Structure 1
């Protein structure tokens, strides 16, 4: 299959329009099973070291969602101490656990066998799962569905909530999906002047 300039432009627009969506932007509208499957299927096409395909997903029910939110709330309050020199932090909405339509916990499935390409860089399996997450993020955006990645969570607590054995699995991400009021023209933290945008020249090591 070959692609053309129009395909490249569409892909570029999707990538540039991806946003981390928080609870102040989700709306009460359900995601169809078909669209959820499309998002999950896109993850399966991500590159994986040694074709290990180590990603695993949990579609979170309401009971577990409440427990995750309770844990997040405690973690968020503790995290404020680390940003006490930046008052803006206290006013940021950093998750959409309750407001989003679907929550998905993403895990890395550890292997007891040797994995091709993982001999010296053990964490490449985890990187593969992150690639799968990005596929989901971009696919959701192409479907005009927002996604937020909640990271103020302790893996040990999340494992306990989902009764996951850390010997077999490693927690990678907690994702929130839902339709939105809008997609901002720029990343929210950029709009709030949390940090300056880096240019390509800033990211190349000489």
Structure 2
């Protein structure tokens, strides 16, 4: 298959570079056909051994979301004490979820028993089903950005709380709890970078060649 046209290629890279973790949402409901497109994009993610270990649990109920919000608040209170001084003040000023404000929450899960005990690609690295599920999350996120839909990943919540609230079977692991909705704008830069929590790390020192810590000539323009 031939490469994408320049315009198509630019759109792909734009979705990647302009994707943001969103916490402020508009109340407008998301149409079902739009949600279905996002889930179809997620479902077409790469997966080791073509195992497709994911499920997508749509959380619309106010009662269920309020229980997840309470679980977040418990976990966030425990996290608060781990950040001290100015760091703690900044942490407490951050908006870290949009569980009740967003019109839709989605819990993306990994069924660790799917296809039985022996699965192609998991024999040496059994965690590959979890990593494959993360690929589905990224697909959903990029498709959402292309559709003008914001996504926020809520990770400050205990796994066991999500298991109980969502009645997940023992073999199913919640990998991501996502808030989705329209947003007023997509920030130019990530919020945590803008607020001084962390800066984006330069790419060059993260790339090695053949062995750990061995520099590459990729960025110098000169071969070894």
* Fold equivalence (TM over 0.5): yes
Q: Deviations over 1:115-156 (max 9, x none)?
A: 101111111100000000000000000000000000001101
Contact 1:97 1:103 in 2 (8 A): yes
Measured after TM superposition, the shift of residue 83 of structure 1 is 1.2
Residue 52 of structure 1 is matched in structure 2 by 51
Contact 1:45 1:132 in 2 (8 A): yes
Contact 1:28 1:179 in 2 (8 A): yes
SS of 2:33's partner is: helix
Q: CA RMSD in A?
A: 1.0
Larger-Rg structure: 2
Residue 13 of structure 1 is matched in structure 2 by 14
Structure 1 residue 147 and structure 2 residue 148: aligned?
no
Deviating more after overlay: 131-140 vs 113-122: 113-122
List structure 1 runs of 4+ shifted beyond 3 angstroms: none
Residues in 1 aligned to 2:185 and 2:126: alpha-carbon distance in whole angstroms: 39
SS of 2:151's partner is: strand
Which of 66, 89, 92 pairs up with 2:91? Answer: 89
SS of 1:12's partner is: helix
Q: Gaps spanning 5+ residues in structure 1: where? A: none
Scaled by the length of structure 2, what TM-score is found?
0.88
Scaled by the length of structure 1, what TM-score is found?
0.95
Contact 2:45 2:139 in 1 (8 A): yes
Q: Deviations over 1:19-67 (max 9, x none)?
A: 0001xx2111111000000000001110111111000111112221110
Structure of higher RCO (CA pairs closer than 8 Å, 6+ residues apart)? 1
Contact 1:49 1:115 in 2 (8 A): no
Residues in 2 aligned to 1:134 and 1:62: alpha-carbon distance in whole angstroms: 26
Q: Deviations over 1:81-121 (max 9, x none)?
A: 11124120010000110111100111101223311011111
Count of residues in Structure 1 that have an aligned counterpart in Structure 2: 203
